[in-house]
Amino acid sequence: MTAPTPSQTVGPFYGYALPFPGGGDVAPAGHPDTITVHGYVYDGAGQPIPDSLLEFWQAGPDGSTAGAPGSLRRDPVTGAVLGRNGVDFTGFGRVPTDADGHYALRTLPPGTPGYLSVCVFARGLLHHLFTRIYLPESAEDQLLASLEPRRRATLIARPERDRVYRFDIRVQGGPEEETVFLDFG
Amino acid sequence: MTTSIERVSAAPLGQADIDREMAELRRTADAAGNGAPAPLHPSRDYPPYRSSVLRHPKQPLVVVRDPEAVELTGPVFGVTDVTDLDSDLTRQHVGEPLGERITVTGRVLDRQGRPVRGQLVEIWQANASGRYAHQRDQHPAPLDPNFTGVGRCLTDDEGRYHFTTIKPGPYPWRNHLNAWRPAHIHFSLFGTAFTQRLVTQMYFPGDPLFSFDPIYQSITDERARERLIATYDHDQSSPEWSLGYRWDIVLDGPAATWIEEGRS
Protein backbone atom coordinates (compact mmCIF):
# COMPACT_ATOMS: atom_id res chain seq x y z
CA MET A 1 0.00 0.00 0.00
CA THR A 2 1.17 3.52 -0.80
CA ALA A 3 2.08 5.63 2.23
CA PRO A 4 -0.51 8.32 2.91
CA THR A 5 0.04 12.07 2.78
CA PRO A 6 0.40 13.20 6.41
CA SER A 7 -2.12 15.51 8.06
CA GLN A 8 -1.36 19.08 9.15
CA THR A 9 -3.43 21.45 11.26
CA VAL A 10 -6.21 23.48 9.63
CA GLY A 11 -4.59 26.52 11.32
CA PRO A 12 -6.36 29.75 12.26
CA PHE A 13 -7.03 31.20 8.79
CA TYR A 14 -9.42 28.77 7.07
CA GLY A 15 -12.36 31.04 7.88
CA TYR A 16 -12.71 32.64 4.46
CA ALA A 17 -12.08 29.35 2.62
CA LEU A 18 -13.94 26.42 4.15
CA PRO A 19 -17.14 27.65 5.87
CA PHE A 20 -20.03 28.49 3.53
CA PRO A 21 -23.40 30.15 4.06
CA GLY A 22 -25.98 27.57 5.10
CA GLY A 23 -23.27 25.06 6.02
CA GLY A 24 -25.23 24.09 9.13
CA ASP A 25 -28.61 23.95 7.38
CA VAL A 26 -28.55 20.35 6.21
CA ALA A 27 -32.32 19.90 6.49
CA PRO A 28 -34.24 21.14 3.43
CA ALA A 29 -35.64 24.59 4.23
CA GLY A 30 -38.82 24.43 6.31
CA HIS A 31 -38.86 20.64 6.63
CA PRO A 32 -41.22 19.81 9.53
CA ASP A 33 -38.95 17.04 10.89
CA THR A 34 -35.96 19.35 11.31
CA ILE A 35 -33.98 18.95 14.51
CA THR A 36 -31.34 21.27 15.93
CA VAL A 37 -28.15 19.91 17.46
CA HIS A 38 -25.96 22.51 19.12
CA GLY A 39 -23.26 22.89 21.71
CA TYR A 40 -19.78 24.10 22.54
CA VAL A 41 -16.31 22.81 21.73
CA TYR A 42 -13.94 22.96 24.75
CA ASP A 43 -10.19 22.58 25.24
CA GLY A 44 -8.36 20.82 28.08
CA ALA A 45 -8.65 23.88 30.34
CA GLY A 46 -12.43 23.97 29.86
CA GLN A 47 -12.17 27.04 27.65
CA PRO A 48 -14.38 27.22 24.54
CA ILE A 49 -12.49 26.87 21.24
CA PRO A 50 -13.57 29.70 18.93
CA ASP A 51 -11.53 28.54 15.94
CA SER A 52 -12.62 24.97 15.39
CA LEU A 53 -14.46 23.65 12.37
CA LEU A 54 -16.95 20.79 12.58
CA GLU A 55 -18.07 18.64 9.68
CA PHE A 56 -21.10 16.38 9.80
CA TRP A 57 -21.98 13.38 7.66
CA GLN A 58 -25.00 11.18 8.16
CA ALA A 59 -27.59 8.86 6.66
CA GLY A 60 -30.83 10.42 5.47
CA PRO A 61 -34.11 9.71 7.30
CA ASP A 62 -34.52 6.66 5.00
CA GLY A 63 -31.12 5.30 6.07
CA SER A 64 -29.52 6.10 2.72
CA THR A 65 -25.85 7.08 2.77
CA ALA A 66 -25.77 7.98 -0.93
CA GLY A 67 -25.78 11.71 -0.14
CA ALA A 68 -26.29 14.30 -2.87
CA PRO A 69 -24.14 17.02 -4.39
CA GLY A 70 -24.98 20.69 -3.93
CA SER A 71 -23.91 21.47 -0.36
CA LEU A 72 -21.79 24.39 -1.63
CA ARG A 73 -23.88 25.23 -4.70
CA ARG A 74 -22.51 28.24 -6.58
CA ASP A 75 -23.82 30.74 -9.09
CA PRO A 76 -21.91 30.15 -12.35
CA VAL A 77 -22.51 33.79 -13.34
CA THR A 78 -21.05 35.57 -10.31
CA GLY A 79 -19.28 32.72 -8.49
CA ALA A 80 -21.23 33.64 -5.35
CA VAL A 81 -22.54 30.94 -3.02
CA LEU A 82 -26.18 30.14 -3.76
CA GLY A 83 -26.45 27.59 -0.97
CA ARG A 84 -28.38 24.34 -1.03
CA ASN A 85 -31.34 24.08 -3.39
CA GLY A 86 -33.80 23.57 -0.52
CA VAL A 87 -34.96 20.22 -1.87
CA ASP A 88 -32.08 17.72 -1.77
CA PHE A 89 -30.71 16.23 1.43
CA THR A 90 -26.93 16.25 0.89
CA GLY A 91 -26.12 14.66 4.28
CA PHE A 92 -23.10 16.94 4.66
CA GLY A 93 -22.76 19.92 7.00
CA ARG A 94 -19.86 22.20 7.86
CA VAL A 95 -19.99 24.66 10.76
CA PRO A 96 -17.21 26.79 12.25
CA THR A 97 -17.55 27.49 15.98
CA ASP A 98 -18.32 31.14 16.59
CA ALA A 99 -16.44 33.59 18.85
CA ASP A 100 -17.76 31.86 21.99
CA GLY A 101 -17.01 28.34 20.78
CA HIS A 102 -20.62 27.51 19.90
CA TYR A 103 -21.99 25.63 16.87
CA ALA A 104 -25.50 24.77 15.68
CA LEU A 105 -26.62 22.23 13.09
CA ARG A 106 -30.15 21.94 11.69
CA THR A 107 -30.71 18.58 10.09
CA LEU A 108 -33.11 15.66 9.74
CA PRO A 109 -32.87 12.76 12.17
CA PRO A 110 -30.85 9.98 10.55
CA GLY A 111 -32.50 6.64 9.84
CA THR A 112 -30.54 3.52 10.72
CA PRO A 113 -27.64 3.77 11.53
CA GLY A 114 -28.91 6.50 13.82
CA TYR A 115 -25.94 8.71 14.44
CA LEU A 116 -24.28 11.79 13.00
CA SER A 117 -20.61 11.36 12.18
CA VAL A 118 -18.52 14.37 13.19
CA CYS A 119 -15.04 15.37 12.06
CA VAL A 120 -13.33 17.98 14.27
CA PHE A 121 -10.68 20.37 12.98
CA ALA A 122 -9.02 23.19 14.96
CA ARG A 123 -5.96 25.36 15.19
CA GLY A 124 -3.66 23.39 17.49
CA LEU A 125 -5.06 20.05 16.33
CA LEU A 126 -2.45 18.44 14.06
CA HIS A 127 -4.72 15.65 12.86
CA HIS A 128 -8.53 15.82 12.76
CA LEU A 129 -10.65 13.78 15.18
CA PHE A 130 -13.76 11.70 14.48
CA THR A 131 -16.63 11.31 16.90
CA ARG A 132 -20.36 10.54 16.69
CA ILE A 133 -23.52 12.18 17.94
CA TYR A 134 -26.20 9.67 18.97
CA LEU A 135 -29.71 10.93 19.55
CA PRO A 136 -31.15 9.51 22.77
CA GLU A 137 -34.00 7.83 20.86
CA SER A 138 -31.58 5.68 18.84
CA ALA A 139 -28.63 5.38 21.22
CA GLU A 140 -28.04 1.68 20.79
CA ASP A 141 -25.38 0.05 18.68
CA GLN A 142 -22.18 -1.97 18.63
CA LEU A 143 -19.91 0.98 19.45
CA LEU A 144 -22.01 2.30 22.34
CA ALA A 145 -22.39 -1.19 23.77
CA SER A 146 -18.60 -1.58 23.84
CA LEU A 147 -18.04 1.55 25.98
CA GLU A 148 -18.15 1.84 29.74
CA PRO A 149 -21.13 3.98 30.83
CA ARG A 150 -19.19 7.16 31.70
CA ARG A 151 -17.48 7.14 28.28
CA ARG A 152 -20.69 6.18 26.45
CA ALA A 153 -22.44 9.23 27.89
CA THR A 154 -20.08 11.59 26.02
CA LEU A 155 -21.57 10.42 22.69
CA ILE A 156 -25.26 10.88 23.49
CA ALA A 157 -26.96 14.20 22.81
CA ARG A 158 -29.14 15.59 25.59
CA PRO A 159 -32.71 16.67 24.73
CA GLU A 160 -33.16 20.35 25.69
CA ARG A 161 -36.64 20.96 24.40
CA ASP A 162 -38.80 19.74 21.55
CA ARG A 163 -36.53 18.82 18.61
CA VAL A 164 -33.50 20.58 20.13
CA TYR A 165 -30.49 18.63 21.40
CA ARG A 166 -27.31 19.67 23.15
CA PHE A 167 -23.99 18.03 22.32
CA ASP A 168 -20.69 19.45 23.62
CA ILE A 169 -17.30 18.29 22.42
CA ARG A 170 -14.41 18.21 24.90
CA VAL A 171 -11.19 17.70 23.02
CA GLN A 172 -9.22 16.95 26.19
CA GLY A 173 -10.12 15.91 29.73
CA GLY A 174 -10.54 13.06 32.15
CA PRO A 175 -12.48 9.91 31.19
CA GLU A 176 -15.77 11.48 32.25
CA GLU A 177 -15.26 14.72 30.34
CA GLU A 178 -13.29 14.00 27.20
CA THR A 179 -15.45 13.07 24.23
CA VAL A 180 -14.88 9.58 22.85
CA PHE A 181 -12.90 9.90 19.62
CA LEU A 182 -12.74 7.13 17.04
CA ASP A 183 -9.94 5.37 15.19
CA PHE A 184 -10.99 3.79 11.89
CA GLY A 185 -7.51 2.34 11.21
CA MET B 1 10.71 41.40 44.18
CA THR B 2 11.04 39.12 41.17
CA THR B 3 13.45 36.27 41.67
CA SER B 4 15.83 35.28 38.91
CA ILE B 5 13.98 31.98 38.45
CA GLU B 6 10.71 33.79 37.82
CA ARG B 7 12.41 36.10 35.38
CA VAL B 8 13.79 33.13 33.50
CA SER B 9 10.42 31.38 33.33
CA ALA B 10 8.72 34.56 32.19
CA ALA B 11 11.15 35.09 29.33
CA PRO B 12 9.53 34.37 25.98
CA LEU B 13 10.56 31.07 24.46
CA GLY B 14 13.04 31.45 21.69
CA GLN B 15 13.82 29.39 18.63
CA ALA B 16 16.64 27.62 20.53
CA ASP B 17 14.15 26.35 23.15
CA ILE B 18 11.82 25.02 20.47
CA ASP B 19 14.74 23.49 18.55
CA ARG B 20 15.80 21.62 21.70
CA GLU B 21 12.27 20.28 22.25
CA MET B 22 11.90 19.22 18.62
CA ALA B 23 15.28 17.43 18.65
CA GLU B 24 14.35 15.60 21.84
CA LEU B 25 11.02 14.44 20.38
CA ARG B 26 12.75 13.27 17.20
CA ARG B 27 15.19 11.22 19.32
CA THR B 28 12.30 9.71 21.29
CA ALA B 29 10.46 8.84 18.07
CA ASP B 30 13.57 7.26 16.54
CA ALA B 31 14.18 5.18 19.68
CA ALA B 32 10.54 4.06 19.81
CA GLY B 33 10.69 3.34 16.08
CA ASN B 34 13.58 0.85 16.24
CA GLY B 35 12.17 -1.67 13.79
CA ALA B 36 8.52 -0.62 14.19
CA PRO B 37 6.89 1.26 11.30
CA ALA B 38 7.38 5.03 11.52
CA PRO B 39 4.26 7.10 12.31
CA LEU B 40 2.53 8.24 9.12
CA HIS B 41 0.89 11.31 10.66
CA PRO B 42 1.88 13.89 13.27
CA SER B 43 1.27 13.04 16.89
CA ARG B 44 -1.62 15.19 18.13
CA ASP B 45 0.42 15.74 21.29
CA TYR B 46 3.39 17.78 20.08
CA PRO B 47 4.32 20.40 22.72
CA PRO B 48 6.72 22.47 20.53
CA TYR B 49 3.53 23.51 18.69
CA ARG B 50 2.14 25.30 21.71
CA SER B 51 -1.49 25.37 20.61
CA SER B 52 -1.56 21.56 20.64
CA VAL B 53 -1.02 21.33 24.40
CA LEU B 54 -4.67 21.79 25.43
CA ARG B 55 -6.15 20.61 22.15
CA HIS B 56 -5.28 16.93 21.92
CA PRO B 57 -7.14 14.02 23.51
CA LYS B 58 -5.58 12.27 26.50
CA GLN B 59 -7.89 9.24 26.45
CA PRO B 60 -7.09 6.48 23.95
CA LEU B 61 -9.09 6.62 20.72
CA VAL B 62 -11.71 3.87 20.40
CA VAL B 63 -11.06 1.51 17.50
CA VAL B 64 -14.05 0.99 15.17
CA ARG B 65 -14.04 -1.96 12.75
CA ASP B 66 -17.67 -1.95 11.70
CA PRO B 67 -18.17 -2.71 7.99
CA GLU B 68 -21.58 -0.99 8.22
CA ALA B 69 -20.15 2.26 9.65
CA VAL B 70 -21.60 5.40 8.05
CA GLU B 71 -18.03 6.76 7.90
CA LEU B 72 -17.19 4.25 5.16
CA THR B 73 -19.38 6.37 2.90
CA GLY B 74 -18.95 10.09 2.48
CA PRO B 75 -20.28 13.36 1.14
CA VAL B 76 -20.49 13.81 -2.62
CA PHE B 77 -19.94 16.96 -4.65
CA GLY B 78 -20.77 17.88 -8.20
CA VAL B 79 -20.57 20.48 -10.93
CA THR B 80 -22.98 22.76 -9.06
CA ASP B 81 -20.50 23.04 -6.16
CA VAL B 82 -17.70 24.74 -8.13
CA THR B 83 -17.39 27.25 -10.94
CA ASP B 84 -14.65 27.28 -13.58
CA LEU B 85 -12.99 30.36 -12.11
CA ASP B 86 -12.65 28.77 -8.67
CA SER B 87 -9.43 26.97 -9.63
CA ASP B 88 -7.68 30.11 -10.90
CA LEU B 89 -6.83 32.29 -7.90
CA THR B 90 -5.25 34.93 -10.15
CA ARG B 91 -8.53 35.77 -11.92
CA GLN B 92 -10.90 36.36 -9.04
CA HIS B 93 -10.54 40.16 -8.99
CA VAL B 94 -10.46 43.02 -11.47
CA GLY B 95 -6.65 43.19 -11.49
CA GLU B 96 -3.86 40.64 -11.31
CA PRO B 97 -2.31 39.75 -7.97
CA LEU B 98 1.33 40.52 -7.25
CA GLY B 99 3.82 37.69 -6.94
CA GLU B 100 5.24 34.70 -8.72
CA ARG B 101 2.53 33.03 -10.86
CA ILE B 102 2.51 29.24 -10.40
CA THR B 103 0.42 26.22 -11.24
CA VAL B 104 -0.03 23.36 -8.78
CA THR B 105 -1.27 20.06 -10.10
CA GLY B 106 -1.26 16.41 -9.13
CA ARG B 107 -3.42 13.38 -8.50
CA VAL B 108 -5.51 12.38 -5.52
CA LEU B 109 -5.19 8.63 -4.90
CA ASP B 110 -6.24 6.13 -2.26
CA ARG B 111 -3.73 3.86 -0.57
CA GLN B 112 -4.24 1.20 -3.22
CA GLY B 113 -3.18 3.75 -5.83
CA ARG B 114 -6.68 4.14 -7.29
CA PRO B 115 -7.69 7.64 -8.43
CA VAL B 116 -10.21 9.52 -6.29
CA ARG B 117 -12.63 10.82 -8.93
CA GLY B 118 -15.00 13.76 -8.88
CA GLN B 119 -14.14 14.78 -5.34
CA LEU B 120 -13.74 18.23 -3.87
CA VAL B 121 -10.30 19.80 -3.40
CA GLU B 122 -10.19 23.13 -1.54
CA ILE B 123 -7.13 25.35 -1.00
CA TRP B 124 -6.34 28.55 0.88
CA GLN B 125 -3.13 30.48 1.29
CA ALA B 126 -1.35 33.73 2.16
CA ASN B 127 -0.52 36.26 -0.56
CA ALA B 128 2.96 36.81 -1.99
CA SER B 129 3.87 38.97 1.02
CA GLY B 130 2.85 36.31 3.54
CA ARG B 131 -0.45 37.93 4.55
CA TYR B 132 -3.83 36.19 4.70
CA ALA B 133 -7.00 38.05 3.74
CA HIS B 134 -8.25 37.31 7.26
CA GLN B 135 -9.07 39.89 9.93
CA ARG B 136 -7.13 38.00 12.57
CA ASP B 137 -3.90 38.02 10.56
CA GLN B 138 -2.02 40.96 12.10
CA HIS B 139 1.25 40.49 10.18
CA PRO B 140 2.19 44.00 8.99
CA ALA B 141 2.69 42.91 5.39
CA PRO B 142 0.51 44.38 2.63
CA LEU B 143 -2.83 42.93 1.68
CA ASP B 144 -3.27 42.48 -2.06
CA PRO B 145 -6.64 43.82 -3.29
CA ASN B 146 -6.40 41.40 -6.21
CA PHE B 147 -5.83 38.26 -4.18
CA THR B 148 -8.09 36.45 -1.74
CA GLY B 149 -6.20 33.17 -1.75
CA VAL B 150 -9.12 30.70 -1.90
CA GLY B 151 -9.70 28.04 -4.54
CA ARG B 152 -11.59 24.82 -5.17
CA CYS B 153 -12.02 22.24 -7.91
CA LEU B 154 -13.26 18.72 -8.52
CA THR B 155 -10.81 15.94 -9.39
CA ASP B 156 -11.14 14.52 -12.91
CA ASP B 157 -11.46 10.86 -13.94
CA GLU B 158 -7.77 10.27 -13.26
CA GLY B 159 -8.00 11.92 -9.86
CA ARG B 160 -6.22 15.00 -11.16
CA TYR B 161 -6.60 18.52 -9.73
CA HIS B 162 -5.19 21.77 -11.09
CA PHE B 163 -4.81 25.27 -9.64
CA THR B 164 -3.30 28.50 -10.93
CA THR B 165 -2.20 30.81 -8.13
CA ILE B 166 0.76 32.85 -6.89
CA LYS B 167 3.50 31.53 -4.65
CA PRO B 168 2.62 32.35 -1.04
CA GLY B 169 5.18 34.11 1.16
CA PRO B 170 6.46 32.81 4.51
CA TYR B 171 5.03 34.61 7.53
CA PRO B 172 5.68 35.12 11.24
CA TRP B 173 3.47 33.66 13.97
CA ARG B 174 3.51 33.76 17.75
CA ASN B 175 4.35 30.21 18.76
CA HIS B 176 7.66 31.51 20.11
CA LEU B 177 9.93 34.51 19.59
CA ASN B 178 10.95 34.84 15.92
CA ALA B 179 8.72 31.96 14.76
CA TRP B 180 8.19 31.83 10.97
CA ARG B 181 6.11 29.43 8.91
CA PRO B 182 7.64 28.05 5.71
CA ALA B 183 5.63 29.05 2.63
CA HIS B 184 2.67 26.68 2.24
CA ILE B 185 -0.72 26.14 0.65
CA HIS B 186 -3.47 24.62 2.81
CA PHE B 187 -5.31 21.70 1.17
CA SER B 188 -8.63 20.09 2.14
CA LEU B 189 -9.56 16.77 0.50
CA PHE B 190 -12.42 14.29 0.46
CA GLY B 191 -12.29 10.63 -0.55
CA THR B 192 -15.10 8.21 -1.20
CA ALA B 193 -15.26 7.44 2.54
CA PHE B 194 -15.52 10.09 5.27
CA THR B 195 -12.64 8.23 7.00
CA GLN B 196 -10.36 9.38 4.15
CA ARG B 197 -10.90 13.05 4.99
CA LEU B 198 -7.64 14.99 4.94
CA VAL B 199 -6.63 18.56 5.75
CA THR B 200 -2.95 19.26 5.24
CA GLN B 201 -0.39 21.74 3.93
CA MET B 202 1.75 21.63 0.79
CA TYR B 203 5.25 23.06 1.03
CA PHE B 204 7.79 24.21 -1.58
CA PRO B 205 11.12 22.46 -2.22
CA GLY B 206 14.24 23.77 -0.47
CA ASP B 207 12.52 26.07 2.02
CA PRO B 208 15.15 27.23 4.57
CA LEU B 209 12.47 27.38 7.30
CA PHE B 210 11.64 23.65 7.42
CA SER B 211 13.96 22.81 10.32
CA PHE B 212 12.63 25.68 12.47
CA ASP B 213 8.91 24.98 12.09
CA PRO B 214 7.17 22.89 14.78
CA ILE B 215 4.10 22.29 12.60
CA TYR B 216 6.16 20.74 9.80
CA GLN B 217 8.43 18.96 12.32
CA SER B 218 5.42 17.50 14.18
CA ILE B 219 5.77 14.69 11.62
CA THR B 220 8.76 13.00 13.21
CA ASP B 221 9.60 10.69 10.28
CA GLU B 222 11.67 12.43 7.61
CA ARG B 223 10.24 10.42 4.70
CA ALA B 224 6.70 11.20 5.84
CA ARG B 225 7.56 14.93 6.11
CA GLU B 226 8.92 14.92 2.58
CA ARG B 227 5.54 13.72 1.28
CA LEU B 228 4.30 17.25 1.96
CA ILE B 229 6.83 18.90 -0.36
CA ALA B 230 5.82 19.59 -3.96
CA THR B 231 8.25 18.94 -6.81
CA TYR B 232 9.25 21.68 -9.19
CA ASP B 233 8.28 20.33 -12.62
CA HIS B 234 9.80 22.21 -15.54
CA ASP B 235 7.45 20.49 -17.98
CA GLN B 236 4.55 22.06 -16.09
CA SER B 237 6.06 25.53 -16.42
CA SER B 238 4.54 27.65 -19.12
CA PRO B 239 6.89 29.80 -21.27
CA GLU B 240 6.69 33.54 -20.45
CA TRP B 241 3.89 32.79 -18.00
CA SER B 242 4.14 30.52 -14.93
CA LEU B 243 6.24 28.02 -12.96
CA GLY B 244 4.88 24.53 -12.40
CA TYR B 245 4.71 22.42 -9.25
CA ARG B 246 3.47 18.86 -8.97
CA TRP B 247 2.15 17.26 -5.80
CA ASP B 248 0.33 13.92 -5.55
CA ILE B 249 -1.84 13.27 -2.52
CA VAL B 250 -2.58 9.85 -1.03
CA LEU B 251 -5.62 9.65 1.23
CA ASP B 252 -5.36 7.44 4.28
CA GLY B 253 -8.28 5.22 5.03
CA PRO B 254 -9.44 2.13 6.76
CA ALA B 255 -7.24 -0.91 6.21
CA ALA B 256 -8.40 -2.91 3.18
CA THR B 257 -8.68 -6.06 5.29
CA TRP B 258 -11.79 -4.98 7.16
CA ILE B 259 -13.38 -2.55 4.71
CA GLU B 260 -13.58 -5.30 2.06
CA GLU B 261 -15.53 -7.52 4.47
CA GLY B 262 -18.45 -5.12 4.16
CA ARG B 263 -18.46 -5.40 0.37
CA SER B 264 -18.60 -9.16 0.08
Report domain extents, chain A. 6-170
pLDDT per residue of chain B (264 residues) written in tens, 0 to 9 = 334 444 445 678 999 999 999 999 999 988 887 778 889 999 999 999 999 999 999 999 999 999 999 999 999 999 999 999 999 999 999 999 999 999 999 999 999 999 999 999 999 999 999 999 988 888 999 999 999 999 999 999 999 999 999 999 999 999 999 999 999 999 999 999 999 999 999 999 999 999 999 999 999 999 999 999 999 999 999 999 999 999 999 999 875 555 555 443
| pLDDT attached to residue A112 | 86
Mean pLDDT of A112-138: 96
Q: What is the DSSP string of B147-200?
A: ---EEEEE--TTSEEEEEEEPPPPEEESSSTTEEEPPEEEEEE--SSGGG-EEE
Q: Would the CB atoms of B57 and A181 count as touching at under 8 Å? A: yes
Radius of gyration in angstroms for the set of CA atoms belonging to chain B, rounded to a whole number: 21
Q: Is A32 on the interface with B (CB under 8 A)?
A: no
Return the pLDDT at B246: 98
Q: Active site includes B184? A: yes
- What pLDDT does B4 receive? 41
**Cα–Cα nearest to A117, from A160, A181, A178:** A181
| pLDDT confidence of residue B200 | 98
Catalytic (active site) residue B132? yes
Contacts of B172 in chain A (CB under 8 A): none
Compare all CA atoms of chain B with the CA of A115 and give the residue at the minimum distance. B70
Q: What percent of chain A has pLDDT over 70?
A: 100
pTM above 0.90, yes or no: yes
Considering only alpha carbons, which residue of chain A is nearest residue B69? A113
Nearest to B122, CA basis, from B42, B190, B171, B203: B190
Q: Taking the CB of residue B227, how many other CB atoms lie within 10 A of it?
A: 19
d(CA B243, nearest CA chain A) in Å: 23
Q: Which residues contact B129 (CB under 8 A, 6 or more apart)?
A: B98, B99, B141, B142, B144, B169
pLDDT band at A102 (very low <50, low <70, confident <90, very high): very high
Residues of chain A contacting B86 with CB distance shorter than 8 Å: 74, 79
What superfamily in CATH does domain A6-170 come from?
A: Aromatic compound dioxygenase (2.60.130.10)
**CA distance linking residue B234 with residue A104, whole number of Å:** 47
Whose CA is closest to A119, among B38, B75, B50, B186? Answer: B75
Q: What's the rounded mean pLDDT across residues A17-42?
A: 97
Beta carbons of A3 and B215 less than 8 Å apart: no
Interface of A with B in 134-163 (CB under 8 A): 142-143, 146-147, 151
